């Protein structure tokens, strides 16, 4: 397969991935560079499965499984319910020997983000197309390439040889050059319908399934909510909730009973969160809030009643469980063709994650559960934050995941975390045996 070898720009110093990013604890990880190379290669490749979580508030898992099988309409595609996570449907990639990946004469060039979506089963939508050869007609078969180094100009009309291009698969033209590049207001809809890709991921347009019946969600995100273990009638906070994929899962495990509060800093994201809530018929209250500033500081909690349904700020020790799915450098995305992240951006997240964590600990009731997660791979944002938290909050204990939910690999060395603690946190990466998904990190704590 023609995946590129590293997702980062050539001047990117990968040492930043294995440092704690904070001046007070700047140690380098003890890992060897072969291992890092393996991880970076893995980030360039596509997960070998697609996972969908069924909305159990409104749907039966078997019913949705049958709908998906009917939609895919191909007995060669293996579709099954996950053996442990019973509301999760797994669609396996098709072995590529079975696919027609012979290159066509006509070519289409797409951007790196669109390329990543195509390899995970999307058709090509108009905004993702950068170039299409002159002469390509509606319903022509074309080969699709990703412009890895962003050298192709919008509207390009020839064979592209000015930069690195990677073949991702074959598709059929559904929009002409004129529609794509000359008519300004037509940049919507499917431009190329994909027939086969080098990842073998079946094309699935989730919009063709009943609204609110299920959601495309990576397995580590699902495991993360299982570790939180929400129960009916509890009081639960999702501190960084939009677009709400995990919030709707929490609501489902609570059976819509109890109090669930979801926060996000950005208003348009709250609007989206509320849309998903309504589609999923999930019961939670959403508020726009900066979760670094949601603690109501009153000397004695006795003075005030604690109605979290009114939104932040909240009194200390208000919640039974808190999910902190933190803003992060998001380096765990798969597949990646090119990553433009800079060291400055990557370093900027740890102070924010610590502030959010401080609020989470204060808002958690004694004996409450806190789950901290990121979709990134750096030591600083993952083990670094856990090590800092265990040092700062003596009332926090890192919890060992139940064996059936221990599907990731152990944490990286390079912080104060003991071997025992490294085996309690979970990294989802190239070393995880049971899950081939995106890069992800999760740790679960209990407060005494």
Asked if residue 241 binds ligand SAM (CB under 6 A), the reply is: yes
Asked if residue 269 binds ligand SAM (CB under 6 A), the reply is: yes
224/36 Cα distance (integer angstroms): 24
- Secondary structure (3-state) at 290: coil
Asked if residue 320 binds ligand SAM (CB under 6 A), the reply is: no
Residue of 53, 123, 245, 410 that binds ligand SAM (CB under 6 A): 245
3/268 Cα distance (integer angstroms): 35
Angle between helices 245-253 and 219-228 (to 10 degrees): 40
Q: Tell me the β-bridge partners of 238.
A: 262, 323
Residue listed under structure tokens 């509207």: 155
Strand duo 426-428 + 440-447: pairing: antiparallel
Residue of 92, 174, 231, 265 that binds ligand SAM (CB under 6 A): 265
Tokens of 138: 């509606």
The CB-nearest residue to ligand SAM is 240
Asked if residue 285 binds ligand SAM (CB under 6 A), the reply is: no
Q: What is the closest distance, in whole angstroms, from the C-beta atom of residue 295 to ligand SAM in the complex?
A: 12
Pick the closer one to ligand SAM by CB: 147 or 264: 264
Asked if residue 292 binds ligand SAM (CB under 6 A), the reply is: yes
Asked if residue 263 binds ligand SAM (CB under 6 A), the reply is: yes
Q: Which of 14, 20, 82 is nearest to 382 (CA)?
A: 20
- Residue span binding ligand SAM (CB under 6 A) among the ranges 67-75, 257-265, 298-306, 439-447: 257-265
- Secondary structure (3-state) at 336: coil
Tokens of 291: 């979760």
Asked if residue 381 binds ligand SAM (CB under 6 A), the reply is: no
- Secondary structure (3-state) at 258: strand
Asked if residue 147 binds ligand SAM (CB under 6 A), the reply is: no
CA distance between the termini of the chain:
51
Asked if residue 243 binds ligand SAM (CB under 6 A), the reply is: yes
- Residues involved in catalysis: 375
114/119 Cα distance (integer angstroms): 9
Q: What is the closest distance, in whole angstroms, from the C-beta atom of residue 190 to ligand SAM in the complex?
A: 25
Asked if residue 321 binds ligand SAM (CB under 6 A), the reply is: no
Asked if residue 379 binds ligand SAM (CB under 6 A), the reply is: no
Q: Which of 314, 276, 308, 310 is nearest to 295 (CA)?
A: 314
Asked if residue 215 binds ligand SAM (CB under 6 A), the reply is: no
- Residue span binding ligand SAM (CB under 6 A) among the ranges 71-79, 89-97, 134-142, 237-245: 237-245
Pick the closer one to ligand SAM by CB: 291 or 369: 291
Residue of 242, 322, 331, 389 that binds ligand SAM (CB under 6 A): 242
429/40 Cα distance (integer angstroms): 10
Asked if residue 416 binds ligand SAM (CB under 6 A), the reply is: no
**Proportion of the chain in helix, strand, coil states, percent, rounded to 5:** 30, 25, 45
**Binding interface with ligand SAM (CB under 6 A):** 221, 240-246, 263-266, 269, 290-292, 325, 327
């Amino acid at each position: 397969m023609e995946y590129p070898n590293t997702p980062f720009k050539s001047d990117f110093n990968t040492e930043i991935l294995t440092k704690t990013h904070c001046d007070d604890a700047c140690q380098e990880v003890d890992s060897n560079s072969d291992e890092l190379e393996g991880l970076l290669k893995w980030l360039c490749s596509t997960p070998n499965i697609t996972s969908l979580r069924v909305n159990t508030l409104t749907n039966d898992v078997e019913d949705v499984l049958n709908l998906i099988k009917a939609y895919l309409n191909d007995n060669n595609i293996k579709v099954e319910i996950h053996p442990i996570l019973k509301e999760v449907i797994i669609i396996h990639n098709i072995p590529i020997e079975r696919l027609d990946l012979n290159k066509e004469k006509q070519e289409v060039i797409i951007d790196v983000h669109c390329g990543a979506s195509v390899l995970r089963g999307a058709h090509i939508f108009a905004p993702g197309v950068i170039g299409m050869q002159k002469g390509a007609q509606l319903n022509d078969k074309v080969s699709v390439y990703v412009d890895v180094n962003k050298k192709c100009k919008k509207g390009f009309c020839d064979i592209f040889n000015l930069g690195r291009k990677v073949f991702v698969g074959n598709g059929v033209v559904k929009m002409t050059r004129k529609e794509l590049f000359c008519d300004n207001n037509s940049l919507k809809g499917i431009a190329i319908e994909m027939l086969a890709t080098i990842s073998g991921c079946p094309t699935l347009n989730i919009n063709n399934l009943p609204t609110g019946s299920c959601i495309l969600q990576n397995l580590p995100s699902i495991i993360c909510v299982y570790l939180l273990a929400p129960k009916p009638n509890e009081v639960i906070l999702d501190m960084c909730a939009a677009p709400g994929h995990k919030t709707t899962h929490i609501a489902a495990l609570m059976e819509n009973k109890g109090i669930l509060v979801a926060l996000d800093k950005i208003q348009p994201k709250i609007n989206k969160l509320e849309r998903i809530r309504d589609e999923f018929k999930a019961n939670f209250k959403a508020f726009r809030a900066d979760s670094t500033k949601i603690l109501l500081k009153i000397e004695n909690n006795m003075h005030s009643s604690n109605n979290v349904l009114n939104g932040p700020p909240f009194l200390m020790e208000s919640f039974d469980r808190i999910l902190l799915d933190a803003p992060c450098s998001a380096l765990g995305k798969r597949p990646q063709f090119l990553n433009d992240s800079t060291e400055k951006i990557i370093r900027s997240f740890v102070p924010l994650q610590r502030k959010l964590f401080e609020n989470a600990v204060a808002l958690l009731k004694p004996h409450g559960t806190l789950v901290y997660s990121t979709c990134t791979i750096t030591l600083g944002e993952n083990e670094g934050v856990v090590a800092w938290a265990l040092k700062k909050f003596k009332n926090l204990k890192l919890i060992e995941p139940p064996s059936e939910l221990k599907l990731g690999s152990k944490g990286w060395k390079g912080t104060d975390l003991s071997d025992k603690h490294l085996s309690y946190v979970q990294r989802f990466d190239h070393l995880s045996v049971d899950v081939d998904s995106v890069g992800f990190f999760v740790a679960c704590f209990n407060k005494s």
